[in-house]
Amino acid sequence: MAEDTVTICDNRTGKTVKLPIIHGTEGVPVVDVSTFYKEFGMFTLDPGFRSTAACNSKITFTDGDQGILLYRGYPIDQLARQSTFLEVCYLLMEGDLPSPTQYTQFKEIITHHTMVHEQLLNFYKGYRRDAHPMAIMVGVVGALSAFFHDSLDVFNPRHREISAHRLIAKIPTIAAASYKYSVGQPFVYPDNTLSYTENFLNMLFSVPCEKMRLSPVLVRAMDQILILHADHEQNASTSTVRLAGSSEANPFAAVSAGIGALWGPAHGGANEAVLTMLHQIGSVDNVDVFIKRAKDPDDPFRLMGFGHRVYKNYDPRARILKESAHAVLADVGRADDPLFRLALELERIAQEDEYFIKRKLYPNVDFYSGIIQSAIGIPTNMFTVIFAVARTVGWITQWMEMMTEGPSISRPRQLYIGHPRRDYVPMDAR
Ligand code: CMC
């Protein structure tokens, strides 16, 4: 039987080296190129990490061709339909589904860390009222580092665990406060009698003079959104958290870096961009014009919420969100919502179009999530913040996995294409 290796030959010298092929439990195998520089005196080049695995991980698996997403081995549709976000947090962090006792204990821990230090709330006042809430999130989450000197030893497993619990518990409080600040309403303190998701919605929407009535359909839809966004293996923001954490930076600083990476429209900012795009298209009558624009290589317009670096099939999360959109819109009495009809039509036409078929461009997680969130009453500029709330557990779990293995600073190499060595020319001689 052939050895599980790839043979690389440097045709200039004839030197041949066998590189080991490593198989994971699922998915495509990898070639271990860690000795490549030592063997050949060359680096490998892969901008955008199109062919490069940056770590080993036991947390999340995606198969982009089949449209599969597993958290700790469990299919996303089973978790989205049968589990709760907090149970998924436990699963991601601990590796297994909790027993009833473990779940009760975990809920207790998270519930009792929901408040933030009163002085942290002063940070908000430093922002302009019209600041994007993601700008506030980057700053305030990073600022958490200043409040927990008691547990910032990144090599202490108990410190890491406490930080993870604090982040999961406090992120809805911080996110809701960023919204309250932008609309000029008082901050709402967490209510520990409510579930995680009810509490989050309550902090977003209640005001001191009026109690919030939460529809179970909307609470469930929001819980499902949190589950679906909880982790997605080595995406841009998660890789950013790992990269920042690899320098032994504290987890609040690393997660704050991840929030910054999530913000961009090619990543978590796409949900906001989808709604902006749907408003821009305006009506079903204009779909053809925009589809034409999306296909034009000279037009920067892209169909937001379409396409994915990994999924070359229907994103399994988008399928669940499409179903959820029907339920949520019916619950809020907008079953015939024109934006939803527009989105469905856009999807239908794109899926029949040669351009999208050939490039395997399907709706991704962001395509329907904005429609659901606006039906719940969440403003467009908060969509990416909701994504950040959900992804915090993924970021911190991935960070913990890396720290448990013992981090080695991530330091990519480069192909230098700048000016060759030259001598400094004094100012008066230029
Ligand atoms: N609309 C029109 N054409 C597209 C789109 C799109 N949304 N996405 C990709 N293409 C085309 C692209 O122009 C290229 O065509 P060609 O081969 O003729 O040059 C081809 O499809 C391959 O695209 P790519 O840019 O090489 O693909 P990528 O893997 O680098 O990019 C992506 C993935 C998600 C950045 C991209 O599909 C995109 O910009 N989509 C819109 C933004 C979006 O919805 N982002 C959310 C991603 S999912 C959530 C998350 O991860 O946060």
45-58 confidence digits (pLDDT tens): 999 999 999 999 99
Q: The whole model's pTM is what? A: 0.93
Residue 228 Cβ inside 6 Å of ligand 1? The answer reads no
Please report the pLDDT score of residue 75 as a whole number.
98
What span, in angstroms and rounded, lies between the C-alpha atoms of 343 and 89?
Answer: 31
Confidence of residue 2 (pLDDT cuts 50, 70, 90): low
Give the percent of the chain with pLDDT over 70: 99
Per-residue model confidence as pLDDT tens digits over 284-305: 999 999 999 999 999 999 999 9
Q: Residue 3 CB: number of other CB atoms within 10 A?
A: 9
Ligand 1 atom at minimum distance from 306 CA: 7
Please report the pLDDT score of residue 198 as a whole number.
96
Q: Is the pLDDT of residue 1 over 80?
A: no
For residues 19-25, give the mean pLDDT.
96
Q: Is the pLDDT of residue 313 over 60?
A: yes
Please report the pLDDT score of residue 269 as a whole number.
86
Residue 251 Cβ inside 6 Å of ligand 1? The answer reads no
Please report the pLDDT score of residue 336 as a whole number.
87
Is 114 strand, coil or helix? coil
Nearest CA, atom 50, ligand 1: 267
Nearest in space to 199 (alpha carbons), one of 112, 93, 76, 326: 112
For residues 240-249, give the mean pLDDT.
97
Mutate which of 302, 346, 366 for ligand 1? The one with the most ligand atoms within 8 Å of its CB, which is 302
92 alpha carbon to ligand 1 midpoint, in Å?
28
Q: Is the pLDDT of residue 170 over 70?
A: yes
Give the percent of the chain with pLDDT over 90: 91
> Which pair of structure tokens corresponds to residue 123?
């940070």
What span, in angstroms and rounded, lies between the C-alpha atoms of 415 and 43?
Answer: 8
For residues 119-142, give the mean pLDDT.
95
151 alpha carbon to ligand 1 midpoint, in Å?
41
Residue 364 Cβ inside 6 Å of ligand 1? The answer reads yes
Kind and range of the H or E run holding 62? strand 60-63
Q: Is the pLDDT of residue 66 over 60?
A: yes
